[in-house]
Amino acid sequence: MSSTNLQVDDQGRLRHFLTIEGLSHSILTEILDTAESFAGVTAQQVKKVPLLRGKTIVNLFFEASTRTRTTFELAAKRLSADVLNINIDASSAVKGETLLDTLRNLEAMHVDMFVVRHADSGAAHFFARHVAPHISVLNAGDGRHAHPTQAMLDMFTIRRVKGPDFGRLRVAIVGDIMHSRVARSQIHALNTLNTGEVRIVAPKTLVPVDAESLGVQVFHDLEAGIRDVDVIIMLRLQRERMQGAMLPSEHEYFHLFGLTEQRLAVADPDVTVMHPGPINRGVEMDSQVADGPRSVILEQVTHGIAVRMAVMSMTMRAHTDAEAQEKQNV
């Protein structure tokens, strides 16, 4: 079964959210529009809506990630769901329990959604293929493969700052493209939303061999790559995923690819600077840029809650609607 068939039901509704690849422009736009409707919830005195009351969501993290897990937890709680956080490092995986055993045991607790983060590419797809029909699976990052909610919160941030017409934008993604699941998801999202020009900028050792087939322009010089762009998305150097000497040193990387105010001068005067976090200051960018007026890095974190609320509500609605239809047919 393809990713698209696994993610979308017969009515075109999102039932799992595993990857951006293969999803339609209309589904991505629906996610962004739904997130917009939730964006104001955080400003309310009571920061809750009752959409998922009575539902149980399990954050199943096989990899540590304070920021992503926290925003998923907040999103679920703001939708009035019950949330269970499970740290697998300290759980049954250490005792030799298989992924399928873990899944079956949690299913027996009558949960409604799994949010899965795993070091292996394809782990979220594995869960989605094996869960009971009423359960949704959201991918919170799997290996080098995908991080779809991060990409969508980035798209939401761009749309809020630059407006809904992606076709007039030049966007540059800078840094460790090779090891970044975020970059792959961002590229798919930007191209699906018909972005005018998508560039990747990185040393040759950090660019995947199939990069140009993804529908991007490849640059190995920072200033050439960010010239006249409207949005710059910096990526974290993922030392933990690198094998061998892919970089001479972090100091040398900053010298060639670190974003500074001086280098920003070649971009559009109204350029927006983004980073999925956490930032390595003095490696990917200096503090003057990270904390400067062009940076929307903290806004990205805030928007992550609304986007994850959107995806949770859309996937659960698809299951609820399908169950209601089945009861009508009986």
As a whole-number percent, the residues of the chain with pLDDT over 90 amount to: 74
Check residue 90 and give its pLDDT. Answer: 47
Q: Please tell me whether residues 118 and 33 are part of one structural domain.
A: yes
Q: Is 317 annotated as a binding residue?
A: no
In a domain, 284, yes or no: yes
List helix spans (H) across the chain: 3-7, 25-39, 66-78, 99-107, 123-130, 148-162, 181-192, 222-226, 250-257, 261-264, 287-290, 297-329
Q: What is the residue range of 66's domain?
A: 3-146+302-321
Check residue 187 and give its pLDDT. Answer: 97
CATH code for position 281: 3.40.50.1370
CB 102 within 8 A of CB 130: no
Q: Is 7 annotated as a binding residue?
A: no
In a domain, 113, yes or no: yes
Q: Please tell me whether residues 159 and 92 are part of one structural domain.
A: no
Q: pLDDT tens for residues 200-254? A: 999 999 999 888 899 999 999 999 999 999 999 999 987 654 444 466 688 889 9
Check residue 241 and give its pLDDT. Answer: 45
Q: pLDDT tens for residues 30-66? A: 999 999 999 988 778 888 999 999 999 999 998 888 8
CA dist., res. 303 & res. 309, Å (int): 10
Check residue 265 and give its pLDDT. Answer: 97
Query: Helix, strand or coil for residue 81?
Result: coil
> Higher-confidence residue: 91 or 70?
70
Q: Is 147 annotated as a binding residue?
A: yes
Question: Which residues contact residue 98 at a Cβ distance below 8 angstroms, ignoring those fewer than 6 apart?
Answer: none
Band of the pLDDT at 86, cuts 50, 70, 90? Answer: confident
pLDDT reading at 79 higher than 80:
yes
Q: Please tell me whether residues 135 and 100 are part of one structural domain.
A: yes
Q: Is 159 annotated as a binding residue?
A: no
pLDDT reading at 102 higher than 80:
yes
Q: Please tell me whether residues 139 and 159 are part of one structural domain.
A: no
The answer to which of 10-14, 160-164, 256-260, 319-323 has the lowest mean pLDDT is 319-323
Overall number of domains in the chain: 2
CA dist., res. 79 & res. 307, Å (int): 12
The residue whose two tokens read 């698809």 is: 318
Q: Please tell me whether residues 34 and 136 are part of one structural domain.
A: yes
pLDDT reading at 120 higher than 80:
yes
87, β-bridge pairs: 61
Stretch (H or E) spanning 218: strand 217-219
Q: Is 327 annotated as a binding residue?
A: no
Check residue 192 and give its pLDDT. Answer: 98
Q: Is 150 annotated as a binding residue?
A: yes
- End-to-end Cα distance, the chain: 28
Question: What's the chain's average pLDDT?
Answer: 90
Closest C-alpha to 153, from 4, 307, 1, 329:
307
Q: pLDDT tens for residues 136-183? A: 999 999 988 999 999 999 999 999 999 999 999 999 999 999 989 999
Q: Is 162 annotated as a binding residue?
A: no
Q: Is 117 annotated as a binding residue?
A: yes
Band of the pLDDT at 318, cuts 50, 70, 90? Answer: confident
Check residue 195 and give its pLDDT. Answer: 98
In a domain, 272, yes or no: yes
Q: Please tell me whether residues 74 and 212 are part of one structural domain.
A: no
Question: Side-chain half-sphere of 177: how many Cα atoms within 13 Å?
Answer: 28
pTM here is 0.92
In a domain, 328, yes or no: no
Check residue 326 and give its pLDDT. Answer: 59
CB contact burial 57-96 (16+ within 10 A = b; e otherwise): bbbbbbbeeeebbebbbbbbbbbebebeebebeeeeeeee
